[in-house]
């Protein structure tokens, strides 16, 4: 059959409250045009993130009822640990309340000021935790990742030559090297087994522990099976096991391919490292048999990790992201190619090419998509990664102005996705009328969460003219 269906029936539904453009325009003004400040009941389709926003299965809800909330020695922990060991294969499994807690404990255990940590692309919390201990987070994405519109099967790969040069002549200690699968910061693009194996071998040769940021390990396994010669006949769980056999440890957010609403873990094969990490865990997260989680959360993750590796689930997940990407492309909406595993990234600088980057085309598009259709997305561009120098007032800009449409797991059906396509196609037809924005208030750090904006039409922005782009 050509039609790939949602491989589930719906047993419990969550109503969507329909709102009008006029209602949303007034909510936007109240929120300072910052989509993080909207009440979520006012959103028709929420594509802000795929993190912790998925629907749990009947099996997961049944497991929740088996949760044993004992402080120590809970069988829920043993079931969680058995599932993680079975798939990931590491000796020590340390539960945390989410991925960033695993990163913080790892950084505090391994890193000192002046150290350098390479990665294909650090996720923002990984970077923040490395920088918080005075170390440097270095992104080494492969050359193919630089061209947004070029298709390549493994655009998430780490640049092996750059990694080799770094390891041969390190500017500081390198206590750990990372590869993130899939590469979230780089558009949800996958990493090949060949690239992971080569990165692992380079690290082994230089005595550097090799870690995987495993958040979307099952989506990555699906891409490997679909695209990488030699892996077609392997099951997703075997690909996952082969992936982690290359590594010395991993960090994981169970809010992604753990199919849970909260949770994470940290793994290592090093007994001494694990001992130190468990001491830190007790300080801020909890006893080693629960971390920052309830027994019921551990149960939901233990089931969810296997469900993420179900081939019919992955086939459906990739079909729906691909479907959105293909239909947007056909409607003339420029996107990062090829579609990633968990999201579509609209190239807002190209889409709204009448707006100079000083008028934040990504934020402008995200605002209009919400006002017109009630769809919440997120700007991944100069609002998120740019900075205003507090003394000179000069602005630095991001390399790309993107708007991410992240797809929650098992939540939306094809008609929801069709609605998203139709909404963006409608914006494409009148894109030159979409106004830019200026920032009227911003904090010193992580400004995208709390900045306030104001719409500004091009005519009202002196010094800007469409000819500048
Ligand atoms: C979400 C994410 C994290 C952090 O996990 P949280 O559970 O949000 O703390 C780390 N790395 C990647 C690649 C992620 O997508």
CB 305 within 8 A of CB 237: no
Identify the H or E element spanning 255: none
Ligand 1 centre to CA of 430 (Å) is: 36
pLDDT of residue 457: 80
* Single pTM value for the model: 0.95
pLDDT of residue 464: 53
- Candidates 401, 405, 400; CA nearest to 423 is 405
Find the DSSP H helices in 206-270. 217-227, 236-245
Atom 12 (ligand 1) nearest CA: 123
| Each residue's pLDDT tens digit, 207-228 | 999 999 999 999 999 999 999 9
Question: How many C-beta atoms lie closer than 10 Å to residue 304's C-beta?
Answer: 26
Is ligand 1 within 6 A of the CB of residue 368?
Answer: no
In tens digits, the chain (469 residues) has pLDDT values of: 888 999 999 999 999 999 999 999 999 999 999 999 999 999 999 999 999 999 999 999 999 999 999 999 999 999 999 999 999 999 999 999 999 999 999 999 999 999 999 999 999 899 999 999 999 999 999 999 999 999 999 999 999 999 999 999 999 999 999 999 999 888 899 999 999 999 999 999 999 999 999 999 999 999 999 999 999 999 999 999 999 999 999 999 999 999 999 999 999 999 999 999 999 999 999 999 999 999 999 999 999 999 999 999 999 999 999 999 999 999 999 999 999 999 999 999 999 999 999 999 999 999 999 999 999 999 999 998 888 888 888 889 998 999 999 999 999 999 999 999 999 999 999 999 999 999 999 987 788 999 999 999 876 665 555 444 4
pLDDT of residue 2: 84
CB 130 within 8 A of CB 107: yes
Ligand 1 centre to CA of 125 (Å) is: 7
- Candidates 362, 445, 355; CA nearest to 404 is 362
Place of tokens 């997120």: 378
Assigned fold of 21-50+310-468? 3.90.1150
Domain boundaries of the chain, sorted by first residue: 21-50+310-468, 58-307
Is ligand 1 within 6 A of the CB of residue 125?
Answer: yes
Ligand 1 centre to CA of 311 (Å) is: 23
Assigned fold of 58-307? 3.40.640
Is ligand 1 within 6 A of the CB of residue 129?
Answer: no
Helix 295-308 to helix 58-65 angle (10° resolution) is 150
Is ligand 1 within 6 A of the CB of residue 180?
Answer: yes
Is ligand 1 within 6 A of the CB of residue 49?
Answer: no
Q: What is the secondary structure of 168-182 as a DSSP string?
A: HS-SS----EEEESS
Cα–Cα distances in angstroms (integers) from residue 467 to residues 365, 371, 432, in the given order: 20, 28, 14
Is residue 328 helix, strand or coil? helix
pLDDT of residue 308: 98
Is ligand 1 within 6 A of the CB of residue 123?
Answer: yes
């Amino acid at each position: 059959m050509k039609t790939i269906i949602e491989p589930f029936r719906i047993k419990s539904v969550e109503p969507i409250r329909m709102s009008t453009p006029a209602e949303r325009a007034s909510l936007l003004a109240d929120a300072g045009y910052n989509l993080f400040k909207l009440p979520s009941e006012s959103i028709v389709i929420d594509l802000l993130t795929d993190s912790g926003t998925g629907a749990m299965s009947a099996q997961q809800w049944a497991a929740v009822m088996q949760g044993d909330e004992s402080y120590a020695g809970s069988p829920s922990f043993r079931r969680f640990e058995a599932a993680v060991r079975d798939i990931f294969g590491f000796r020590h499994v340390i539960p945390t309340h989410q991925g960033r807690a695993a990163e913080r404990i790892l950084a505090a255990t391994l890193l000192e000021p002046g150290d350098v940590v390479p990665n294909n692309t650090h996720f923002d919390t990984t970077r923040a935790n490395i920088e918080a201990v005075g170390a440097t987070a270095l992104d080494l994405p492969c050359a193919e990742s630089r061209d947004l519109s070029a298709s390549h099967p493994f655009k998430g790969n780490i640049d092996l030559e750059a990694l080799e040069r770094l390891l041969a002549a390190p500017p500081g200690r390198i206590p750990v090297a990372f590869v993130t699968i899939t590469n979230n910061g780089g558009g949800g693009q996958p990493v090949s087994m060949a690239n992971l194996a080569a990165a692992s071998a380079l690290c082994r040769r230089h005595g550097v522990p090799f870690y995987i940021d495993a958040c979307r390990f099952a989506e990555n396994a699906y891409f490997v099976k679909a695209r990488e010669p030699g892996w077609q006949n392997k099951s997703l769980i075997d690909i996952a096991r082969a992936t982690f056999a290359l590594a010395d440890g991993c960090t994981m957010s169970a809010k992604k391919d753990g199919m849970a609403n909260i949770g994470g873990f940290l793994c290592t094969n090093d007994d001494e490292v694990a001992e130190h990490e468990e001491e830190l865990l007790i300080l801020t997260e909890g006893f080693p048999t629960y971390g920052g989680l309830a027994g019921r959360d551990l149960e939901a993750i233990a089931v969810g990790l296997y469900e993420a590796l179900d081939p019919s689930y992955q086939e459906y997940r990739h079909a729906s992201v691909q479907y959105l990407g293909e239909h947007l492309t056909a409607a003339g909406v420029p996107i990062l190619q090829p579609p990633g595993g968990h999201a579509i990234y609209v190239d807002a600088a190209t889409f709204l090419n009448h707006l100079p980057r000083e008028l934040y085309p990504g934020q402008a598009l995200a605002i209009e998509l919400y006002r017109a259709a009630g769809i919440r997305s997120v700007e991944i561009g100069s609002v998120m990664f740019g900075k205003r120098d507090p003394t000179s007032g000069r602005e630095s800009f991001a390399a790309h102005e993107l708007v991410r449409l992240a797809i929650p797991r098992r939540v939306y059906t094809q008609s929801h996705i069709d609605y998203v396509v139709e909404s963006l196609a409608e914006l494409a037809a009148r894109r030159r009328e979409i106004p830019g924005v200026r920032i009227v208030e911003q904090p010193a750090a992580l400004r995208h969460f709390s900045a306030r904006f104001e719409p500004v039409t091009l005519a009202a922005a002196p010094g800007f003219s469409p000819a500048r782009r």
